[in-house]
Chains A and B, each alone.
Chain A
Amino acid sequence: MGTPTTPETSDLTRLIEAALDEREQRGGLSKKNKITIVAWDGHLDRVWPTLILSTTAAASGMEVSVFFTFWGLFALVRPERRITGKDWMTRMLSALNPGSTAKARLSRYNFAGMGPWMLGRIAKEYKTPHPTELLELAREMGVRLIPCQMTMDLMGLTKDDLIEGLEEPIGAATALLEMKESAIQLFI
């Protein structure tokens, strides 16, 4: 560069460069073109935007991971499975909380199924795809749908209870890693 540097400024430059190098190594500057969504809630009006964002991100060329945990995992249960679980408690929970996007309830204005039915009718009129359709689309577009292993154990859900085309179940640390390397992280 030609400009004379005093010993102090060259020290400072070295310090800054070392700090930047360290940050780079920790992955602070190298986030992927990726989005990770934690789908915690299984209600229709939460799973819906999760799937709209996922499919739109995939259509934009982003890598997409959705980690289904707690009530969110029930959205991945096969629609024909009435009762899941391994004992009376987990079976009762599954009866109170029917699985699949087709049977998901609204977080408000559910009115014993009247709300979801009306919303479905309106969505059809406006040609907004239903979550069941979006879930299919997401799988087709390569969105990684990842079940939470701990929730599966807790709720007594087996791989056979869940729809096909899912990733291997993972734990919290792997979910954190997915989030860490993503440019966007959401908890829905």
Chain B
Amino acid sequence: MSTVTTTVDARGQSCPGPLVTLHRALKQARSGDLLELLATDPGSKSDVPSWAQLSGNELLEASEEQGVFRYVIRKA
């Protein structure tokens, strides 16, 4: 089991903020790295899976706790 290497905090940001922030962090990461994205934008619920499909990165987990959405992404 690999563990999350980077946490990307996009809480408080709205479209297209979280995805742009995630993209920046992903550029620094290596292929296979696990990144965790934290967001409060409800639009991210549909947008992060769509982004994963478009970009070819893998969305491993999606959860919500007290208004904070958490996504785990594996860099392609």
Residues of A that sit less than 8 Å from B by CB: 52, 55-62, 126-129, 134, 137, 141
- For this complex, into which size category does the number of interface residues on chain B fall? 10 to 19
- Neighbouring A residues of B56 by C-beta, 8 Å: 61
In the A-B complex, the 10 residue pairs with the smallest Cβ-Cβ separation, listed nearest first, are: A59-B23, A60-B54, A61-B55, A60-B55, A56-B16, A59-B19, A128-B14, A126-B14, A127-B13, A59-B20
Residues of B that sit less than 8 Å from A by CB: 12-17, 19-20, 22-23, 51, 54-56
A62 nearest CB neighbor, chain B only: B54
Q: Are A58's CB and B23's CB within 8 A?
A: yes
Q: How far is the CA of A56 from the CA of B14 in the complex (A)?
A: 12
9 more A-B residue pairs beyond the given contacts A56-B19, A59-B55, A128-B14, with a C-beta to C-beta distance below 8 A: A52-B16, A56-B20, A57-B54, A127-B13, A127-B14, A129-B17, A134-B16, A141-B20, A141-B23
Q: Are B20's CB and A137's CB within 8 A?
A: yes
- Neighbouring B residues of A57 by C-beta, 8 Å: 54
Majority DSSP secondary structure for residues of B touching A: helix
- Neighbouring B residues of A134 by C-beta, 8 Å: 16
Q: Are A52's CB and B15's CB within 8 A?
A: yes
Contacts A126-B14, A127-B14 given; indicate if A55 touches B55 (C-beta within 8 A): no
Q: Are B51's CB and A60's CB within 8 A?
A: yes
Q: Are B13's CB and A55's CB within 8 A?
A: no
A126 nearest CB neighbor, chain B only: B14
A60 nearest CB neighbor, chain B only: B54
- Neighbouring B residues of A141 by C-beta, 8 Å: 20, 23
- Neighbouring B residues of A58 by C-beta, 8 Å: 23
Q: Are B22's CB and A59's CB within 8 A?
A: yes
Q: How far is the CA of A126 from the CA of B40 in the complex (A)?
A: 11
B47 nearest CB neighbor, chain A only: A56
- Neighbouring A residues of B55 by C-beta, 8 Å: 59-61
A33 nearest CB neighbor, chain B only: B54
